[in-house]
Amino acid sequence: MATTLFDKIWDEHVIRAMPDGKTLLHIDRHILHDITSPQAFEGLEAKGRRVRNPELTAATEDHIVATTPGRDETTYAPGAEFIRAMRKSAEEHGIRLFGLGDMQQGIVHVIAPELGIALPGSTHTCGDSHTCTVGAIGALAIGVGTSDVEHVLATQTLKLHKPKRMRIEISGALGPGVTAKDAILHIIAAVGAAGGNGHAVEYAGAAVRALAIEARFTLCNMSIELGARIGMVAPDAATIEYLADRPFTPQGEAWDAALAHWRSLATDDHAIFDKEVAIDGGEIAPTVTWGTSPEDAIPVTGAVPDPATISDPGRRATKERALDYMGLTPGTPLEGLAIDMVFIGACTNSRISDLREAARIAEGGRVAGGVRAMVVPGSSTVKRQAEAEGLDRIFAAAGFEWHESGCSMCCALGDDLVAPGTRCISTSNRNFENRQGPGGRTHLASPAMAAAAALAGKIVDVRKA
């Protein structure tokens, strides 16, 4: 029978059906971070349980950390107890930790594939909703809460209901100045913030095939913003090229055997999806959000919509509240909207290709007066690479701050915050109220759009910049 990429990986990892209707699924890779794991270890230790497979587990410190140059675990004081807990647990249970000061430290979803910890055809989890990012290399990657982190630590399994299958096909080609970030924002606006609830999404089509692997991470990263815990792209030659010679990818005969498996991982012709969405890649413009849900995304050439036209009262009230929070009125064009802050980073857009793209725009320019712009690399590896290419000097010359790697202003768990009432254009994935700091106003966009806005001091269409 014709099956999907998702089914092939799922079926291979089924241990048994559980009496409650869920499936007991083996988890090949489990990555921990500082915020969602302390309580899991506490629970484990309270019951006297061990970490079942420390050799399949890794950890990093990324969320509640400072990103100021020269930082260490004491720089951001509220993070100290989380970092202490992480280090103690990693030490006691024999888990490899990529902590602050480690050459390979970084945002969990950036380092997992960058280091070759995540692999195609594997099941992969982390106590973080953006774990779906890693599906871009053809892994079945799913975000979980802390109870499930504890469950995986103790059993190396998850109990899950099998999600339905959804395929999002982007046909044609993305236009000049249009990136994977614009594509995913466009898709979320089309299907809604709950359009993928209960589904595993596979991205397919010519425009997806044409994306570099780093851009596929951006695409899959925001699957959770359309409600899907899983987003995937079938591995291909580009995936294999990306993974070759990563620090922890299989070597020698193991690599050859793995390749044979990875090449078999694709959705069969005629496989059935529960839901299909077709998007014309050529119709996607540089896209920016105006509101407080990622579904509030419109072309940069558009204007803030009027909630009065929405008939459903709950939905209308939600969008009215969003406008109020964002300090916007219906009909305001996005182009020309003044910004105070620029954040380039987060597991969505902090890889070397993202930084190159932003630097290309920033080169020779100058951040507009009164605007604070910062660049936060997704990993220490990305930071070193960018510095080797001189990107840090391009940013510094243009007036951008250059930081150490971490989640930074995406989740505002460290001390990088958008100030109350100020407007930030951000390459992160969530424009929720107070997400980037209490009272902060977030407009999601691509790295190029963010860099162009930094120079202009307002939202501009990068195609004209």
Residues 395 to 424: which contact another protein by CB under 8 A? Answer: 411-413, 420
Using the contact rule CB under 8 A, the part of the chain among 315-323, 344-352, 392-400, 455-463 near another protein is: 315-323
Give me the amino acid identity at 13.
H
Q: Closest distance between another protein and the C-beta of residue 140, in Å?
A: 12
Asked if residue 30 binds another protein (CB under 8 A), the reply is no
| Of the residues 81, 245, 274, 276, which one makes contact with another protein according to CB under 8 A | 81
Among residue numbers 89 through 118, which ones bind another protein (CB under 8 A)?
Answer: 94-96, 115, 117
The answer to whether residues 183 and 170 touch, using CB atoms and an 8 Å cutoff, is yes
Strand 423-426 versus strand 401-402 pairing type: unpaired
Residue 134 to residue 43: CA distance in whole angstroms: 27
| Of the residues 141, 178, 243, 258, which one makes contact with another protein according to CB under 8 A | 258
| Of the residues 140, 208, 220, 224, which one makes contact with another protein according to CB under 8 A | 224
Among residue numbers 346 through 375, which ones bind another protein (CB under 8 A)?
Answer: none
Q: Calculate ∠ Cα 78-80-81, nearest 5°.
A: 95
Best CA proximity match to 180, nearest among 460, 448, 459: 448
Q: Between 100 and 412, whose beta carbon lies closer to another protein?
A: 412
**Torsion angle, CA of 116/121/127/130, rounded to 10 degrees?**
80
Asked if residue 340 binds another protein (CB under 8 A), the reply is no
Asked if residue 236 binds another protein (CB under 8 A), the reply is no
Residues in the chain, total: 465
Residue 402 to residue 142: CA distance in whole angstroms: 31
Among residue numbers 4 through 23, which ones bind another protein (CB under 8 A)?
Answer: 12-13, 15-16, 18, 20-22
For residue 55, the Cα-to-chain-centroid distance in whole angstroms is 25
SS3 (DSSP) at 175: coil
Asked if residue 56 binds another protein (CB under 8 A), the reply is yes
| Of the residues 4, 60, 129, 350, which one makes contact with another protein according to CB under 8 A | 129
| Of the residues 315, 360, 366, 464, which one makes contact with another protein according to CB under 8 A | 315
Residue 140 to residue 283: CA distance in whole angstroms: 29
* Number of other residues whose CB lies within 10 A of the CB of residue 79: 25
Asked if residue 250 binds another protein (CB under 8 A), the reply is yes
DSSP state of 419: P
Residue 188 to residue 224: CA distance in whole angstroms: 10
Q: Closest distance between another protein and the C-beta of residue 340, in Å?
A: 16
Among residue numbers 174 through 203, which ones bind another protein (CB under 8 A)?
Answer: 193-194, 197-198
Asked if residue 278 binds another protein (CB under 8 A), the reply is no
Best CA proximity match to 121, nearest among 51, 26, 248: 26
| Of the residues 182, 295, 401, 416, which one makes contact with another protein according to CB under 8 A | 295
Q: Closest distance between another protein and the C-beta of residue 431, in Å?
A: 10
| Of the residues 32, 144, 189, 362, which one makes contact with another protein according to CB under 8 A | 144
SS3 (DSSP) at 321: helix
* Residue 278 burial (10 A CB sphere; 0-12, 13-18, 19+): exposed
| Of the residues 150, 182, 392, 416, which one makes contact with another protein according to CB under 8 A | 150
| Of the residues 106, 135, 227, 231, which one makes contact with another protein according to CB under 8 A | 227
Q: Between 155 and 301, whose beta carbon lies closer to another protein?
A: 155
| Of the residues 62, 73, 148, 202, which one makes contact with another protein according to CB under 8 A | 148
Strand 441-444 versus strand 423-426 pairing type: parallel
Using the contact rule CB under 8 A, the part of the chain among 154-162, 164-172, 208-216, 354-362 near another protein is: 154-162
Q: Between 326 and 455, whose beta carbon lies closer to another protein?
A: 326
Best CA proximity match to 29, nearest among 3, 53, 64: 53
Q: In the sheet where 96-98 sits, what is the strand order?
A: 96-98, 57-60, 29-32, 123-126, 140-143
Asked if residue 244 binds another protein (CB under 8 A), the reply is no
